[in-house]
Amino acid sequence: MKETTCVRKLFGERIALNNVKEPPTGATILLPDTVTHEFRIAEVVKVGDMKVGDDTRDAHVEVGDMVMFQMNAMQHGNARYNFGNEHVIVMPQGDLIAKLIGGSMDYSAFVPVGKWVILSFKQHQNSDVLFIPEKSAAVEMPETFSFHVEKVGAGCNAEIKPGQEVIVERNRCNQLKIEGTTYLFVSDDWIYGAVSPDRGTQTEKAQEEPSLLVKP
């Protein structure tokens, strides 16, 4: 899609989008039961000047990129502008979750943008709790899970990299299924730290060593 001619200029970190009539296949978005927010796919048709005060920020996307974002019905209605035959959505680029390289929703093409992070998760082997994910976007997962970084947005402020185990606010995670595998996406605001790579061995060592009794 070419750059829109209806919008001469956008100020700051704003972008203009056109809704995609046929969303790409390859991924299933698990929505909340209440469906207060909808996941939408759109194409970038204008990028703002990225000027914020005296600074010029980096643009996370460019014209022609296909992106995924999240809005409720009221937000979507307030963000839409009608210019004759063209309907445009104007929003902050920070509200984008990911861009879809080549318009595909397979794992390799799904790239988080801004502060968003994609996580994988697994349950500890010694756990006796069985967790069955519900069909909701926001999930509250038990403490028996560990979370590992899969992909990191370019605007992420946390010092993390793929493969690291992280401490995350579990009820801020949202489910996303790509090619049959369920991942989580979360803003870096809710990632509180990184876990030591040898934490498992430290735990085992602590269990093996006898406790010391200190007599008064």
For residues 151 and 21, what is the distance between their CA atoms, to the nearest angstrom? 28
pLDDT computed for residue 125 by the predictor = 59
pLDDT at 31 over 70: no
Q: Structurally, what CATH architecture does the domain formed by 14-199 represent? A: Roll (2.30)
Quick count: other Cβ atoms within 10 Å of Cβ 213? 5
pLDDT computed for residue 130 by the predictor = 44
Q: What percent of the chain has pLDDT over 70?
A: 73
Of residues 121 and 202, the one with the higher pLDDT is: 121
Query: How buried is residue 32: exposed, middle or buried, by Cβ count under 10 Å (0-12/13-18/19+)?
Result: middle
pLDDT tens digits for range 55-102? 888 898 999 999 988 777 777 778 888 887 788 899 999 888 999 888
Least-confidence region, from 35-39, 145-149, 168-172, 179-183: 35-39
For 125, the token pair is: 């082997």
DSSP 26-90: SEEE---TT--SEEEEEEEEEE---EETTEEPPPS--TT-EEEEEE-HHHHHHHEEEETTEEEEE
pLDDT computed for residue 178 by the predictor = 80
pLDDT at 164 over 60: yes
For 191, the token pair is: 């990632």
Name the pLDDT band for 26 (thresholds 50, 70, 90): low
Quick count: other Cβ atoms within 10 Å of Cβ 3? 14
Closest CA to 83 of 45, 47, 48: 45
For residues 126 and 204, what is the distance between their CA atoms, to the nearest angstrom? 12
pLDDT computed for residue 85 by the predictor = 79
